[in-house]
Each structure stands twice: as C-alpha cells, then as structure tokens.
A and B are shown apart, each in its own frame.
Chain A
C-alpha cells in the first residue's frame, strides 16, 4: 500500500477533565506523515506535542478523532500499530533491576523478536554504548540512559520512529551521535517524527514541519517553504541602553542582543535611525537570513494576535 501514510491524525481532540474544570489539550488536529519523511512537530511548552505523541503511542486515549500507524488504528489494531512504532519517551526512565543488554533483550522479547543479538550489538555500537552493555542501568549517567532509551525504542526495528524531545539536556557529543544515527535510519527508509525545542535541529533535519499552539495546528508546511515564506532578513546587534519604545513587540531581546526583522535595506536604515535618535550605541551589527526560530516566533505571535 504505497499511499497509506506512515502516520495519520484525523480530527484528534483531547480534553482532560479535572476538579477545576476541563482543559482542551488538543483541538481537531489533522495531518498525515508520509512513509520515509523526517517530520518535525514544534510548539511551545503545553502546546500538546507530548499529548499527541502519547495518543499515537497508545499511552493516552483521544477524546475524539482517529490516529493510525501505517493504516492500523492505534485503538482497534493496537498490536499492529505498536509493532510499527518505536517511541523514545521524553522522561528519562529506566528499570533499575537490569543491565543495558538485559533491558534491550527484554524489550525485544515484548515484541516477540527472537535471536536479536546482532541488531542489539549494532545498536550498542552505533549509540556508543558498547562498553556499557553489562553495566546496570542505575550506574549510567543521564546521557547514557538517554542513549539506552533510544536503543530500546529501536530494538524491534520499527519502520516508524518517534522521538519526543530526545536531545533535551543532552551534551553536544550525544546529540551528534544520535542525529547521525537517526539520519542514517531515515535514509534507509524509516519514517521519523521528532519533537524538539532546538529549532536549528528541526531546520537541519526535518523536511516538513507542523507547529502546534494551544492544541491547534498553526502551521504545516515543507521546511524550505516555511523559511521562504518568511523571506526576510534579521538585523542583529548589541545595545548599551534600554530598547526604544518603537521596537516594542517587534524585537527579540536576549540580554543585550536585539534582533529585528527587516524586509529590505530601507527598513534596516530606519531601524538604525531610531537608535541614533535615541542616542544609543550599537555594537556587533550583523544582518542574517531569517531562520526557523524567527518563523516560529512569527507564527506563534500571529496566532496570539488572531
């Protein structure tokens, strides 16, 4: 079935009801992820990314709508759907009773995969875990535990891989090892769904991106189209005083660093003129192309205003 999407979300809603009333975590979310795609799911904290992934993985039930993996409904055909999925959970969880190799063998066994030693060795090798194979899970550092989580998700060779913020709090070395490995799996035909806070990662890796905000899809496009649609430049500089009021709501401020969108040279001149009039000094002036982070902030701002 070449036309069956790897993952399909159809009008997925989720309402949590508690003592203090109900909260709508997802509101009619619909999109498909095609076989072989590297897909990014972005959004601020609380946007509903993890809820959506939990519904996909069968950890949470949708209040309405349907989710399928390679055509298998995650509720009615849950066994088939879960066999096709490899999920790396966001929380750094582990089973303290077992060694790394035991944990992987057991995880493999849950999926009914036998004689999986060669693949387990390859996973250990590719994720830099080979020398920790016989260490107890308790003895591993946070980064090593994260690697084991990735290995556990891949141990049954799932065609669809879901990574829920796999690089949160992870050092540079692991991030690179991990992305090299995941990119290789993607080249070999695996579909990848990634949520991340690191937008440069999403920009570099994902061919298509969905942005979620307060439970709704607010953007769904090819990464290149998203970047092109922004098509603006960014004026970046360091400022030695308070930001002029003219820039309120336009500028992105990180400490002394100010970033302002500018569509053409004329607008850049205008920005600099405002600063001159305010009697402020600028350093390290730089003009760069808008990146995914700018697009992201734009999209989030637009939807807030709407």
Chain B
C-alpha cells in the first residue's frame, strides 16, 4: 500500500474495530425513529399524495445517518488523535495534504455508506420502497458523505476539546439535518419556511437522494446536484487549504 492508502486503511480500521458503537448504534437509532415517527405520523402526514409516510421516511433516515456518521468519523478521529497526541505519528510522515484529505474524507464516506446501508436494510422491512433512479441514490449518498466528511475534517482541525466538537455537532449538524426534510416534505411548510429550507444545503442532499427512490422531489435533482456539488467543492477547498497550512496541527 502507498502512504495515502495506508492512512485510509487505518482510518477505516479505526471505526471498524469499534463498529458496535460506530455502525450498529446509529442503525438502531434510525430504526427507533422509523418505528416511532412512522407509527405516530403515518395516518396524519401525506407526502406527494401517493407515497406512504413510512416509505417516505426510509430514504430520509438513511441519508441523515449517512451525513451524521460521515461527519462524526473524520471529526472524532482528528479530535481524539489531537487530544491523545498520537496525531504526531501522521504528522511525522511525508504524507501530503491531499493524502490526508483523501484518507479522512474517504474513510468518512466508507463509514457513512456502511451505516446508511445498515439503516436501509433494517428499515426497508417495514415498508416497500422503489428505486426509480438508482444512480441518483449513489451520487447523492457519496457526495453528501464526502461533504460531511470534509466538514468533519474542518471541525476536527478547529476543535481543541471534545465539548467544542459536541457544540459543532449539536448546534450546526443536528439542526441542519433535522430541518432538511428528513421527516417531512418542505411543501407541507408555510411559504416562509420553504424559502428558508432552500438555503440549507442539507435539504438538497436529502431531496436529491429521495428522488432516486421515488422519482419525485421538491426541487429538480439537477438543481440539487448543482447545490450539493458546489457545497462539497467549497467545503473541500477549505479543508485542503487548512491541511496545507497545518491549521492548529503544525505550530
């Protein structure tokens, strides 16, 4: 293996060795959401007229899990190694900032997809979903995971303590994912909140991802692709820049 492949392998091995916590736990959480929200809301919420609420919920929960876990992977790995001091083993190597970026974001995509697939496999039993445009499913899952992996990288470089990390997660990532249309179609919202939702890049990730299953969405998947792709590139550019200058990791 070359240098970046080793770092990628090490980062994947890191979450895989504790997969009960990093993969199984978020799958269980998503299952609980499905059972509770599905049970409470299935008779009351109508989505796109013809789609059963529980079926609508499945892609939302899958994508939410992909995003949250992709973020958690790079951010917690970096913060932990910074606090434990073992980041020095990587800092001493000839690995370039691109190698770091590919390894941390790549492993975040891997964890996001693992959890996403797990959530899909356990939730799909409770309903039936179609695959109207499977390529969109793959594209949005990977792009979304990559963007959150890169965002986690930035947060992991910035945070010096676990509570700063938790603040980033609880006050930015959680609200943005919850308010992105995981549990509802934004068409059910008042006009003002629909417009606000359009400013949230997470909305486009979930909307585009859901289009892959049902062939219907709140906005065109091409529009979502443009927004998510641009956001991903923007966040990645910042992450690569911070790695290049050694932001908070090289004195």
Contacts and interface: CB of A to CB of B under 8 A. Distances in A.
Interface of A: 16, 54, 57-61, 78-80, 82-83, 85, 87, 89, 91, 93-98, 102, 106-107, 109-112, 114, 152
Interface stretch (B10-18, B30-38, B138-146, B202-210): B10-18
Given A106-B6, A109-B5, A97 B13 contact: yes
Contact of B250 (A58, A91, A94): A58
Interface of B: 1-3, 5-7, 9-10, 13-14, 17-18, 81, 84-86, 88-96, 246, 250-251
Contact of B3 (A54, A87, A95, A110): A110
Given A59-B91, A97-B13, A97-B17, A91 B85 contact: yes
A110 B91 CA distance: 10
B7 to A, nearest CB: 6
17 contacts: A57-B92, A58-B250, A61-B250, A82-B93, A91-B85, A91-B88, A94-B84, A95-B84, A97-B13, A97-B14, A97-B18, A102-B13, A107-B93, A109-B1, A109-B3, A110-B6, A112-B94
Contact of A59 (B5, B7, B88): B88
A112 B3 contact: yes
B44 to A, nearest CB: 46
B251 to A, nearest CB: 4
A110 B251 contact: no
Instruction: Give me the 7 closest cross-chain CB pairs, A-B, nearest first.
Output: A109-B6, A79-B94, A93-B85, A110-B93, A60-B251, A82-B94, A95-B86
B92 A82 contact: yes
A85 B2 CA distance: 18
Nearest to A85: B92
Contact of B92 (A59, A80, A102, A106): A59
Given A79-B94, A82-B94, A111-B94, A95 B5 contact: no
A54 B106 CA distance: 29
Contacts of B96: 79
Nearest to B84: A93
B134 to A, nearest CB: 35
Given A82-B93, A110-B3, A94 B9 contact: no
B91 A58 contact: yes
Nearest to B16: A97
A111 B88 contact: no
A267 to B, nearest CB: 48
A152 B89 contact: yes
A111 B88 CA distance: 14
B73 to A, nearest CB: 13
A301 B88 CA distance: 35
Given A57-B92, A59-B91, A110 B250 contact: no
Contacts of B89: 93, 95, 107, 110, 152
Contacts of B13: 97-98, 102
A294 B53 CA distance: 82
A58 B5 CA distance: 22
A106 B13 CA distance: 11
A87 B92 contact: yes
A89 B88 contact: yes
Contacts of A110: 3, 6-7, 89-90, 93-95
Contacts of A114: 1
A93 B94 contact: no
A199 B13 CA distance: 42
A87 B251 CA distance: 17
Given A93-B84, A96-B84, A106 B10 contact: yes
Contacts of A16: 251
Contacts of A93: 84-86, 88-89
A57 B249 CA distance: 13
A98 to B, nearest CB: 8
Nearest to A110: B93
Nearest to A92: B85
Contacts of B92: 57-59, 82, 85, 87, 89
Nearest to A57: B92
Contacts of B2: 109, 112
B250 A111 contact: no
Nearest to B15: A97
Contacts of A80: 94
Nearest to B91: A59
Contacts of B251: 16, 54, 59-61
Nearest to A77: B94
Contacts of A109: 1-3, 5-7, 9-10
B172 to A, nearest CB: 27
